Structure 1
Amino acid sequence: MNLHQVLTGAVNPGDSCFSVGNIGDEPFTAYASGCDIVILASDFERLQIIPGAKHGNIQVGCVDCSMQQGKVRDKL
C-alpha cells in the first residue's frame, strides 16, 4: 500500500490533539489520529503521516507545533 492511499482518521479526543505551526511563511496543521500524527497544508491537503508503529502503537495524547521552525512534538 502506498502512503497516499491511507485515509486520515478523526482527531483524537482532547483539547491538545491538534496544533498549527509555520515553516517560513507557510502554515500547517498537525493532529493526532490514533497512534499517528497527520500533517496538513493550509488548504488541508495531506502532506505527511508519521506512523505510531515506531512508538509501540500508543495513542498520541498531545501535539504541539513551532510557529517559527516547523517542528512538531508529540506526547504519548
Structure 2
Amino acid sequence: MADQVQEILDVPRDFLKDGIQFINKSQKPDRREFIKISQAVGVGFLIMGAVGYVVKLIHIPLNNILMGGA
C-alpha cells in the first residue's frame, strides 16, 4: 500500500523535475530568430484568414441556393 502511494506521489515530482530541466536548458530567441518566427506566424494568419474568407464567400451563395433563398 505504501509503495502505491509513493508511486502516485512520484509522478508529479518527476513531472516537475523534468519541467525545470526543460526550462533551464531552453534559451530565449535572439532578435533575428524572433522576427523570423513572428513573420512565419503572421503569414500563417494571413493564409488561414484568406482560406476562411474564400470558404465563407463560397458558402453563403451556395447556402442560399440550397435553402431556396429564404
> Shared fold by TM > 0.5?
no
Q: TM-score range by the shorter chain?
A: under 0.3
TM-score normalized by the length of structure 2: 0.19
By relative contact order (CA 8 Å, sep 6+), the higher-ranking structure is 1
Higher helix residue share: 2
TM-score normalized by the length of structure 1: 0.18
Decide which structure has the larger Cα Rg and report it: 2
Higher strand residue share: 1
